[in-house]
Structure 1
């Protein structure tokens, strides 16, 4: 995974190769809605933002409308004042970002929604690390389920992303061959946790920070 900074959206002119996934971290305000997403997609499609047409895919996942063909696929997530946008060709990426903050009910939430092995890992974590471990697991599962297409409605307990060594790695995914999936934690600094997932072969991940979406 490579990382770099790009000052403004107007500088985004990097080619998206078939063996790559571009992931953009950017400042975000909820009042902006999808404007930053549409602006970035417009750069990749080489069209004006007003010409970008989206449709609602299954389970609320936005997708490019048929008028754009199958040129690329994307996914995005936002938390606090930041967002992540993943763009790729030939695969459906799933991405998730969560802001680091204390989660005193992390174990209680896990006992309701996580798999037994994930609950065990979380329960064994030192109290001061538990919120971080919870987010590592949560973002991985969310990214996988977004790439899968069914989102949280599939059931968080129907996949597991930890094993005996407590490392984040896909170990079980009901109805899926885990060897056909990729899961990559993202280095987003101390304030955020993120993950990227997709079904298919390994790809190069280019993580970029977009200082401004305008």
Structure 2
């Protein structure tokens, strides 16, 4: 049986991987059953939670979402961030507030000096945290499940990448996809930068055909999950597989 949350570190970055069905059993027992991916949004109240989890502002934001899947993913991502902060500080989860900044990216309240990033895939949410808000951080995750590789290559990979990765396996393709998405989160540009303009070729990250300086890329495979992190390069310059 998967654990509700797994805490670990990689290259100085803290991670919390949340298994969403287990989280729902532990935090919202009886409130959200199976099939959360396809149901309309709910109006949650504090007394539905097994323990205080969300601040008043966070609960208001959660209740403004129209799909239960989005609500559950929002809750899981924030729970993961709070677990990371609780490793360092003796605080109740509802005292650790995560909001969306001007770019729409999740950010901790000013009292907490961490750069954070959140990603979701399948039944999992993953949060990453790095001390120092100014450092910047981007993480993206994909569960290893069948996808239409030719369609994904066409939609999100440059012509050079399509040639380089013709015949590549699913793990390789998803790894490169997560690297692209992680850089977008690091840059906090969202869809303003087309993913085809971000390339991973010969273990080098490019944007608009120019090598991206000042960042470090790490990719990991844990069980059935691939995730990649883009962070400042002050740890090392070597990419980790």
Aligned partner of 1:193 among 216, 221, 226: 226
Q: Point out the structure with max Rg over C-alpha.
A: 2
Q: What CA deviation, in whole Å up to 9, does each residue of 1:25-52 have, x standing for no partner? A: 2312453632523531440343221112
1:41-60 correspondence to structure 2 within 5 Å = 41-43=84-86, 44-60=88-104
Aligned partner of 1:20 among 12, 24, 32: 12
Distance in 2 (CA, whole Å) between partners of 1:73 and 1:112 is 30
Distance in 2 (CA, whole Å) between partners of 1:175 and 1:89 is 31
Distance in 2 (CA, whole Å) between partners of 1:143 and 1:158 is 14
Distance in 1 (CA, whole Å) between partners of 2:81 and 2:175 is 28
1:53-202 correspondence to structure 2 within 5 Å = 53-66=97-110, 68-69=111-112, 71-90=113-132, 91-104=135-148, 106-122=149-165, 124-125=166-167, 129=169, 131-163=170-202, 169-174=203-208, 178-189=212-223, 191-202=224-235
Q: What CA deviation, in whole Å up to 9, does each residue of 1:52-96 have, x standing for no partner? A: 222212442110122x15x21211112112222111113221111
Shift in CA distance, 63/45, structure 1 to aligned 2, threshold 3 Å: farther
Shift in CA distance, 26/117, structure 1 to aligned 2, threshold 3 Å: same
Distance in 1 (CA, whole Å) between partners of 2:230 and 2:80 is 19
Shift in CA distance, 143/32, structure 1 to aligned 2, threshold 3 Å: closer
- Return 5+ residue gaps in structure 1 as ranges: 1-6, 164-168, 204-214
Shift in CA distance, 137/27, structure 1 to aligned 2, threshold 3 Å: same
Structure number with greater CO (CA < 8 Å, separation at least 6) is: 1
Q: What CA deviation, in whole Å up to 9, does each residue of 1:109-160 have, x standing for no partner? A: 32233222211123x215xx2x333211101111111111112332112221
Shift in CA distance, 158/151, structure 1 to aligned 2, threshold 3 Å: same
Distance in 2 (CA, whole Å) between partners of 1:79 and 1:115 is 24
- How far is the alpha carbon of 1:108 from its aligned partner? 2.4
CA root-mean-square deviation = 3.0
How many pairs are equivalent? 180
Distance in 2 (CA, whole Å) between partners of 1:21 and 1:185 is 12
Shift in CA distance, 8/54, structure 1 to aligned 2, threshold 3 Å: closer
Contact 2:179 2:230 in 1 (8 A): yes
- How far is the alpha carbon of 1:171 from its aligned partner? 3.2
